[in-house]
Amino acid sequence: MAMAAPWSSSSCCAAPASTSAPHLLRRPTSAKAAAAAWSAGAGTRSCGRRHTSIRATAAAPPPPSVDYAPGTSPGADADHVASLKIKLLSAVSGLNRGLAASQEDLDRADAAARELEAAGGGPVDLSRDLDRLQGRWRLVYSSAFSSRTLGGSRPGPPTGRLLPITLGQVFQRIDVVSRDLDNIVELELGAPWPLPPVEATATLAHKFELVGTSGVKITFEKTTVKTAGSLAQLPPLEVPRIPDNLRPPSNTGSGEFEVTYLDGDTRVTRGDRGELRVFVIA
């Protein structure tokens, strides 16, 4: 999927870190129960205010296309699909949205996602199920974050020791009527002692259009930053857009992703640079 960040017009991000999700191991009876179990546990633990130092890992090559299992249908066993959703959410829990993922973690998450994609009844048809995209989604995992930068394979500031940036929750707000897609990123910016850290929310506005049956193309429009906490009274700041002729080749202002699994509470996407992202409805 292509998502954008305040420092990049087509990259981003998504849920706080968690170390375990013991209650997820009970087999739910429905897909909604699966999402409820996740939201009640690891998904609701917001990230702390301590900075996270992430070890560098080699970027994984773009994965092959999804191999949907033959014979699957929209009527596939709901309990089986729910168990695969729990397996995927368990695989990505404790990885701080992917910032702390090793290559082994990346492989495990990708394998779990492929199982869910294959059991989901074949490729997603957004011409029929576009309404399911509607709403506010919370990112629980992005394989792009393992690159040690918030931009993933696109330009973005590094995390950890070089810059005192702590990534909070990340959301994606989609309006299928107006075709708006906004990436909403909560950040904490370190400040010299004794000043307190600065809390801010960056909203990256995009327009989207469908490409084929399951593809989505997003085009960046603007970034707005709103401070929170003790500076909440300050007005929103609109970040000037980089002129197209000054953009680096890796930052085109647009991107594409494919929706490979979609139901009422869980969404899996794969970006144009091989990024795997997992969302749950907020």
pLDDT value of position 88: 98
- pLDDT beyond 90 at 135: yes
3-state SS of the chain? CCCCECCECCCCCCCCCCCCCHHHHCCCCCHHHHHHHHHHCHHHCCCCCCCCCCCCCCCCCCCCCCCCCCCCCCCCCHHHHHHHHHHHHHHHCCCHHHCCCCHHHHHHHHHHHHHHHHHCCCCCCHHHHHHHHCEEEEEEEEHHHHHCECCCCCCCCECCCCCCEEEEEEEEEEECCCCEEEEEEEEEECCCCCCCCEEEEEEEEEEEEEECCCEEEEEEEEEEEEECHHHCCCCCEEECCCCHHHCCCCCCCEEEEEEEEECCCEEEEEECCCCEEEEEEC
pLDDT value of position 12: 46
- pLDDT beyond 50 at 275: yes
Tell me the pLDDT tens digit for each residue of 165-204: 888 999 999 999 999 999 999 999 888 888 888 999 999 9
For range 237-257, the mean pLDDT? 78
Q: What domains does the chain contain, in order, with CATH numbers?
A: 22-281 (2.40.128.280)
pLDDT value of position 63: 55
Q: Is the pTM of this model over 0.85?
A: no
Share of the chain above pLDDT 70, in %: 65
Q: Is 5 or 273 the better-scoring residue by pLDDT?
A: 273
Q: Is 189 or 36 the better-scoring residue by pLDDT?
A: 189
